[in-house]
Amino acid sequence: MSLFTKKSQFWLPVTIRRPADYGGVEEFKFDALVRFFKRTELTKLAGSYLEQAGALIVDWKGVSEDDGTPVPYTPDALARLDEEHPNAMADIVESYSRAWRGAREKN
């Protein structure tokens, strides 16, 4: 494996958390195909969590409606997720950051 690679994307496990009855927490898990960003690109990822998540995500799998119908990734689907789950974008961005921290901690 080369440290200097042209690989531009990787699959990232994401967990979205939301409040549940009696102080509980529900977790929803899916996989997001996200972009690798160079340091100079990362520093430009300012703005809202929705803008950051939109810059990161290329595709996803495992996102579905209540009836099990898959929801393909689109910017509109991401905006809907943001509207229905206010912390979802922060969870996505944190998953990306955690992946980089985890890679650093393994070395």
**Average pLDDT, consecutive stretches of 10 residues, N- to C-terminus, the chain (107 residues):** 70 94 95 87 77 93 96 96 93 89 58
Exposure pattern of 62-99 as b/e (b: 16+ CB <10 Å)?
A: ebeeeeeeeeebeeeebeebbeebeebbbbbbebbeee
Give residue 104's pLDDT: 52
Taking alpha carbons only, the member of 45, 41, 31 closest to residue 8 is 41
Give residue 36's pLDDT: 86
